[in-house]
Amino acid sequence: MTTKQDKMYRWIGSIGLVALLAITLWSNYGKSHHGHDHSDPSHHGKSTERRSLNESENYTPSGELINGKRVVEFDAEQYRFVPDPLVVIAGEDVELRVMSKDVTHGVMIPEIDFSTDMPMGKRRSAFFTAPSAPGEYPIFCSVFCGPEHGDMTGKLIVLPKHSKGESGHEHQH
Ligand SMILES: [Cu+2]
């Protein structure tokens, strides 16, 4: 092999190396910028699906019934929801009066397509109809709120109709 050929091979080799490096950097750049959608709990390896109720637990519905609607003050702070679990009865109308105590959070119940922001220090109302299927529905934080955001979860417990606290035994307000 002549010196000239030797130089040429080295030259080709280093071009190859640079190209490889560029591809690696580029693909990492792509990954970090296409993001990680912080609002998608499945990216944290979490199941968003309903589970059956734990029959041994005796749940009391959260908040109170006002004119046929379950009204619940629902708070968030790093990194939990209060109350947890949030307990409602199948099929009833729910008004969540949401507020965050620190940074902006969001409450998301994927199984029923419910999601709303929880602004800091300001209570606002959000509404949903409780699912008709009793069970335990995972709740997630939908706004990136800090390093443990991915672990900020809660539970919505949906009790069967005709449980304690159902509409019909309503207090008048
Ligand atoms: Cu949060």
Query: Is 98 found in the same domain as 17?
Result: no
Query: Is 120 found in the same domain as 73?
Result: yes
Query: Residue 103's domain spans which residues?
Result: 41-159
How many separate domains does the chain show?
2
Mean of per-residue pLDDT scores for the chain: 84
Query: Is 28 found in the same domain as 45?
Result: no
Query: Is 47 found in the same domain as 29?
Result: no
Query: Is 150 found in the same domain as 73?
Result: yes
Say how far residue 150 (Cα) sits from the centre of its chain.
8
Query: Is 17 found in the same domain as 86?
Result: no
Q: Domain for residue 125, yes or no?
A: yes
| CATH for 109 | 2.60.40.420
Query: Is 25 found in the same domain as 67?
Result: no
Least trusted range by pLDDT, from 44-48, 81-85, 145-149: 44-48
CA of 145 to the centre of ligand 1 (A): 5
Q: Domain for residue 173, yes or no?
A: no
CA of 81 to the centre of ligand 1 (A): 9
CA of 120 to the centre of ligand 1 (A): 11
pLDDT category, 15, cuts 50, 70, 90?
low
Query: Is 105 found in the same domain as 63?
Result: yes
CA of 102 to the centre of ligand 1 (A): 9
How many angstroms separate the Cα of 69 from the Cα of each of 5, 23, 26, 27, 63?
84, 57, 53, 51, 10
Query: Is 78 found in the same domain as 7?
Result: no
pLDDT digits (tens, 9 = 90+) for 82-132: 999 999 999 999 999 999 999 999 999 999 999 999 999 999 999 999 999
Least trusted range by pLDDT, from 5-9, 14-18, 127-131, 140-144: 14-18
Q: Domain for residue 168, yes or no?
A: no
